């Protein structure tokens, strides 16, 4: 493999990893607070892709992007209020089944409304500028994705570690009951988590779909599952973990294909999930649960 081919693969890998990381954060944050795997997260990501198609049909991109992000946030919060909040005191399994239900609902709703024919994702002109240096060729979005991911994650870490809202989130994630007693509005804190998760999924969707150009009702399912694996790999509940997990999976997948093992690239991701659960169930950066009885 020549140096330029290697560089091209590496670029593809970190770009893919960046998009995965943004989605994985959504999984990890919701898990951190609610102990719930939000299976609908991948589908929120997919619907966000459709939002962009409709927004770009009537507005220029600088208006369309905020509309899409707002729409995605709204969708995330509505799902939380409608499908998860009423089940807050139910067993955890019920909420998870509800999440799976929402996931299928969104997929089938999208099939019903937009048909299963893949729809072309609108092009945001400046993101598609193609750069060439040496043997490497990439569009701006490929270069921007990992950078934007890192910037967003740093901002998010600041939010969580240095603001009141962040403190509330950490408190709720440690102990919901106690934080309620301390006067934290648990429901609005949870809503805020969904706002952040959906916002990042919205940003991820713009980057991911601009690079991959088509949206269809199932385009959120496989990336969703992979990002879930990324979150588990990094240690579910840990934000830096989810980001590292996303990058690891993105890069590994790309290089597996590059070495001619394209057959195994998906299998590898899920094998990784099994191995990490067996060897280190808390993930790379997860804290060991200290359940006091």
Q: Which residues bind other proteins (CB under 8 A)?
A: 1-2, 5, 8-9, 12-13, 16, 35, 37, 39, 92-93, 96, 100, 103, 107-108, 111-112, 115-120, 128, 130, 132, 137-139, 211-214, 216, 218-219, 221-222, 225, 228, 232, 236, 253-255, 257-258, 260, 262-263, 265-266, 270, 273-274, 277, 281, 289, 291
Backbone CA torsion sign across 125, 131, 135, 136:
negative
* Cβ nearer to other proteins, comparing 136 with 195: 136
> Minimum Å distance from CB 76 to other proteins?
19
* Cβ nearer to other proteins, comparing 192 with 201: 201
> Minimum Å distance from CB 110 to other proteins?
9
* Cβ nearer to other proteins, comparing 183 with 260: 260
* Cβ nearer to other proteins, comparing 85 with 128: 128
> Minimum Å distance from CB 130 to other proteins?
6
> Minimum Å distance from CB 260 to other proteins?
8
What is d(CA 214, CA 114) in angstroms, rounded to the nearest whole number?
A: 13
CA distances to 14, 16, 77, 223, 245 from 209, rounded to whole Å, are: 16, 11, 22, 11, 20
> Minimum Å distance from CB 218 to other proteins?
5
DSSP string, the chain: --HHHHHHHHHHHHHHHHHHHHHHHHHHHHHHHHS---TTHHHHHHHHHHHHHHHHHHS-HHHHHHHHHHHHHHHHHHHIIIIIGGGTTS-HHHHHHHHHHHHHHHHHHHHHHH-SSPEEPPP-GGGGPEEEETTEEEEHHHHHHHHHHHHHHHHHHHHHHHSHHHHHHHHHHH-HHHHHHTT--HHHHHHHHHHHHHHHHHHHHHHHHHHH-EE-TTTTHHHHHHHHHHHHHH-TT-HHHHHHHHHHHHHHHHHHHHTT-GGGHHHHHHHHHHHHHHH-TTTTTPPPP----
> Minimum Å distance from CB 258 to other proteins?
5
* Cβ nearer to other proteins, comparing 192 with 230: 230
Tokens 């927004």 map to which residue?
55
CA 52 to chain centre: 17
> Minimum Å distance from CB 139 to other proteins?
5
* Cβ nearer to other proteins, comparing 126 with 270: 270
> Minimum Å distance from CB 27 to other proteins?
11
* Cβ nearer to other proteins, comparing 36 with 156: 36
* Cβ nearer to other proteins, comparing 76 with 235: 235
């Amino acid at each position: 493999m020549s140096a330029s081919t290697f560089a091209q693969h590496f670029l593809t890998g970190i770009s893919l990893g960046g998009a995965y990381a943004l989605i994985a954060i959504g999984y990890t944050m919701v898990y951190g607070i609610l102990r719930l795997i939000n299976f609908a997260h991948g589908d929120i990501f997919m619907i966000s892709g459709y939002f962009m198609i409709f927004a770009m049909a009537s507005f220029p991109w600088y208006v369309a992007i905020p509309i899409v992000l707002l729409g995605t946030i709204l969708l995330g919060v509505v799902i939380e209020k409608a499908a998860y909040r009423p089940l807050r005191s139910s067993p955890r399994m019920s909420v998870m089944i509800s999440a799976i239900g929402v996931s299928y609902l969104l997929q089938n709703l999208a099939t019903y409304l937009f048909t299963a024919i893949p729809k072309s994702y609108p092009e945001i002109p400046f993101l598609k500028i193609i750069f060439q240096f040496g043997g490497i060729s990439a569009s701006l979005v490929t270069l921007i994705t990992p950078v934007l991911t890192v910037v967003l994650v740093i901002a998010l870490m600041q939010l969580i570690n240095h603001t009141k809202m962040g403190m509330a989130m950490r408190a709720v994630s440690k102990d919901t009951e106690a934080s309620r007693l301390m006067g934290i509005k648990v429901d609005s804190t949870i809503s805020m988590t969904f706002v952040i998760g959906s916002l990042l999924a919205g940003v991820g969707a713009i980057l991911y779909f601009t690079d991959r150009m088509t949206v269809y009702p199932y385009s959120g399912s496989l990336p969703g599952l992979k990002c879930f694996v990324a979150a588990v790999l990094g240690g579910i509940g840990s934000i830096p973990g989810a980001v590292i997990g996303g990058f690891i999976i993105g890069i590994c997948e790309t290089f597996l294909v590059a070495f001619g093992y394209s057959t195994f690239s998906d299998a590898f991701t899920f094998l990784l999930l099994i191995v990490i659960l067996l060897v280190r169930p808390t993930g790379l950066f997860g804290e060991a649960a200290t359940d006091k009885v």
